[in-house]
Amino acid sequence: MTTRRDFIRNAATGAIVIAAREYPLAQQRSANDKIQIGLIGAGIRGHEITPQALRVPGVELVAVSDVYEGRLTRAKEIWGKDLFTTRDYRELLARPDIDAVLIAAPDHWHQKMSLDAMAAGKDVYVEKPMVRQVEEGAAVIESARKNSRILQVGSQRASSIVNQKARELYGNGVIGQLNMVEAWIDRNSAVGAWQYSIPPDASPATIDWDRFLGSAPKRPFEPVRLFRWRNYSDYGTGVAGDLFVHLFTAIHMVLSSNGPTRIMSTGGLRYWKDGRDVPDILLGLYDYPETKNHPAFNLLLKVNFADGGGENSEFRFIGNEGMMTLSGGIQISKKAPEREPGMTIESFPEEMQKKYIEEYRKKYPSRGPADRLQSNVVETYTAGRNYNDTFDHMMVFFGSVRSRQPLLEDPVFGLRAAGPALIGNLSYYNRRPYNWDPEAMRLVEA
């Protein structure tokens, strides 16, 4: 097993370790072996993932597309005045010098842009959720296969060295038999609740409104819907698509799981009553079947956008011999199972109690204080202060672009993470549970 010191040391250079072990071609390139990329959607997330992509050796940004002119101006300020920019992403896809694209547009564009990019011969990094509706997923899977394209979903926890270590520990039986998983993300800030800034020059002159709407219902110009699109179900997928997918990604990666079979959710709009039509509190309960990788277990997910305790994200994998907690690092809490049955004899006659204790101690000699102290063991692993799993995720993606080898978070994995989250939205709005087939990735009639 990797020691704590090894884990910390590897964390400092985690992306290089991953690339060298699984994607060796990510580092092996000639001076002309470049991967030229285009960014589709230069908003908040686009500005977070692009710098991490450009840290990968040999990756160059040559084009950016966005419906808001101000973002195109900003892209040239950051990445160079010679950058090609356009409001129409199809012009970007038509460029023969682009090998791959990063798609960070609103959710309702994910499937369409991914399909168009793969048909144009581009490899695709698409932000989660891979699709806005479950039924859109099959076409993405088929397009990647038919066009021989690499598609990686942008839920970076699939490449996290913390989750890789957790996967190893779980496989080694560190918590015994799994029976429950809890995971949550709590936020208590305006930005955390998607109250993003709206530029003062937002107008029909600076924004291609019809192009933003795309397949969404037509409506008059309303810039809040573009710059805070996550708040509206016409464009986004709410808490489930933005955050539950991250949680599912990590859980499925750690457990080598394909997903749940039964899905129930509830919640409400409790605090951010700002015109949004998606909940700011969502809880999900999921039943997972027994597989060769794990026993049957229950999963509880929770997201709260008005948590008085502050910002927090955590996973708890709970077994019969211990608990593995993930929160930036890993903490293993172990307690030995009880060695003897309990004693509840207070209601017995006094003489009977004495005889019962006498016979009980013959069968189960009492453990001393030292034994009880040694039954609790805590081990902690950390990824290091400056660790960035998005960089690791980019290393994996571009390594696969070069080598043409499969990667973990491909379209099938992406749909198996997005599917239960999106069905959770159905459960919330329709107030009923749903059955899900994680192998076929489709709803099952009750």
Give me 162's structure tokens: 């913390």
Is 17 or 282 the better-scoring residue by pLDDT? 282
Q: Write down the pLDDT at residue 19.
A: 36
- The whole-number average pLDDT for the span 191-201 is 97
Q: How confident is the model at residue 242 (pLDDT cuts 50, 70, 90)?
A: very high
- The whole-number average pLDDT for the span 49-78 is 98
Rg (CA), the chain: 25
287 pairs with which residues across the strands?
262, 298
- The whole-number average pLDDT for the span 3-32 is 41
- The whole-number average pLDDT for the span 342-364 is 92
Closest-CA residue to 34 (of 99, 83, 95): 99
Q: Write down the pLDDT at residue 340.
A: 75
Tens of pLDDT, residue by residue over 361-397, are: 888 876 544 444 344 667 889 988 889 999 999 999 9
Q: How far apart are CA 446 and CA 440, in angstroms?
A: 16
Q: Write down the pLDDT at residue 336.
A: 66
Tens of pLDDT, residue by residue over 106-160, are: 999 999 999 999 999 999 999 999 999 999 999 999 999 999 999 999 999 999 9
Residue 59 and residue 141 in contact, taking contact as beta carbons nearer than 8 Å:
no
Q: Write down the pLDDT at residue 27.
A: 40
Q: Write down the pLDDT at residue 287.
A: 98
Q: Write down the pLDDT at residue 370.
A: 43
Q: Write down the pLDDT at residue 384.
A: 82
Q: Write down the pLDDT at residue 376.
A: 65
Q: For a pLDDT cut of 70, what percent of the chain falls above it? A: 89
Q: Is the pLDDT of residue 244 over 60?
A: yes
Q: Write down the pLDDT at residue 32.
A: 52
> Which amino acid is residue 119, in one-letter code?
A
Q: Name the average pLDDT for the chain.
A: 91
Residue 426 and residue 435 in contact, taking contact as beta carbons nearer than 8 Å:
no
Q: Write down the pLDDT at residue 100.
A: 98
Is 338 or 160 the better-scoring residue by pLDDT? 160
What is the rounded end-to-end Cα distance, in angstroms, of the chain? 44
Q: What are phi and psi of 432, to 5 degrees?
A: -160, 155
Range in 23-32, 34-43, 242-251, 283-292 with the lowest mean pLDDT: 23-32
Q: Is the pLDDT of residue 25 over 50?
A: no
Burial class from Cβ neighbours inside 10 Å (0-12, 13-18, 19+) for residue 269 reads: middle
Q: What are phi and psi of 144, to 5 degrees?
A: -60, -40
**Residue reference for tokens 């307690």:** 335
Give me 215's structure tokens: 């397949």
Q: Which domains does the chain have, with CATH numbers?
A: 8-155 (3.40.50.720), 159-338+372-385+413-444 (3.30.360.10)
Which residues 6+ apart lie within 8 Å of 356 measured at CB?
Answer: 343, 345, 348
Q: How confident is the model at residue 404 (pLDDT cuts 50, 70, 90)?
A: very high
- The whole-number average pLDDT for the span 22-36 is 54
